[in-house]
Every structure is written in structure tokens, then in C-alpha cells.
């Protein structure tokens, strides 16, 4: 049996408002458990609080994307896709202003 490669995981969480019972720790707690159960090392936690998912520029998402470009982790975990982006095309580097990729 081959040895399992330990993955470095980035956790991304977002809440658009503090109202309506949204709690970022619900997202991060479950994601940390998910990673831990697989033996993955949490290399970074990125949290955008009070930021709409429709915005092209979000501070922590921008930092996550920059760290991904530097290969600081192997896997990105999100609680639900709509916490990460509105669509796959929303994450495209050219749309996000990156021309060096």
C-alpha cells in the first residue's frame, strides 16, 4: 500500500452579513473537522466577513488566490460553493485582473 500524501488545505469562508444567523465559525469548524478526518494540514484560513459574493474583489479571496499562485496549499475547502463564488467563471484569473497566468 502506497503512503498517503499529506495535503495542505486552505479553508475559505464567507458571510455577507452578521444578520440572519450567519456565523462563519459554523463554516470553519466543519471544514477543519473535514480536513482533520483526512489527515490534512490546514495551511491557511481565509475569511471574508460582511462581503457580498457578487463582488469581484474580496480581500481574503484575493489573498487566497495569491497564495494558490504561490502553491502554498494543495486543496481549497469551502462549506458551500456559493460561499466561494457565484459561478466558476467568476474565479477565472483574467476576470479577476490577473494577466500573468
pLDDT tens for 27-83 read 999 999 999 999 999 999 999 988 776 666 789 999 999 999 999 999 999 988 777
- Residue with grid cell 490534512, as numbered in its chain: 40
Binned at pLDDT 50, 70 and 90, residue 5 comes out as: confident
**Contact between 78 and 29 (Cβ < 8 Å):** no
Please name which of 61, 42, 41 lies closest in space to residue 51, comparing C-alpha atoms.
61
**Contact between 46 and 79 (Cβ < 8 Å):** no
**Contact between 64 and 44 (Cβ < 8 Å):** yes
**How is the chain split into domains, by residue range?**
8-91
Indicate whether 86 pLDDT > 70.
Answer: no
The whole-number pLDDT of residue 76 equals: 94
List the end-to-end C-alpha distance of the chain, in Å, as a whole number. Answer: 37
Binned at pLDDT 50, 70 and 90, residue 23 comes out as: confident
- CATH fold for the domain made of 8-91: Rossmann fold (3.40.50)
Amino acid at each position: 500500500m502506497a503512503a498517503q500524501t499529506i495535503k495542505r488545505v486552505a479553508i475559505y469562508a464567507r458571510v455577507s452579513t452578521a444578520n440572519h444567523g450567519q456565523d462563519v465559525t459554523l463554516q470553519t469548524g466543519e471544514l477543519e473537522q473535514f480536513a482533520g478526518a483526512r489527515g490534512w494540514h490546514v495551511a491557511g484560513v481565509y475569511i471574508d466577513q460582511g462581503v457580498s459574493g457578487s463582488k469581484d474583489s474580496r480581500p481574503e479571496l484575493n489573498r487566497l488566490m495569491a497564495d494558490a499562485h504561490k502553491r502554498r496549499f494543495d486543496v481549497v475547502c469551502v462549506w458551500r460553493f456559493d460561499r466561494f463564488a457565484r459561478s466558476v467563471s467568476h474565479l477565472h484569473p483574467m476576470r479577476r485582473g490577473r494577466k500573468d497566468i
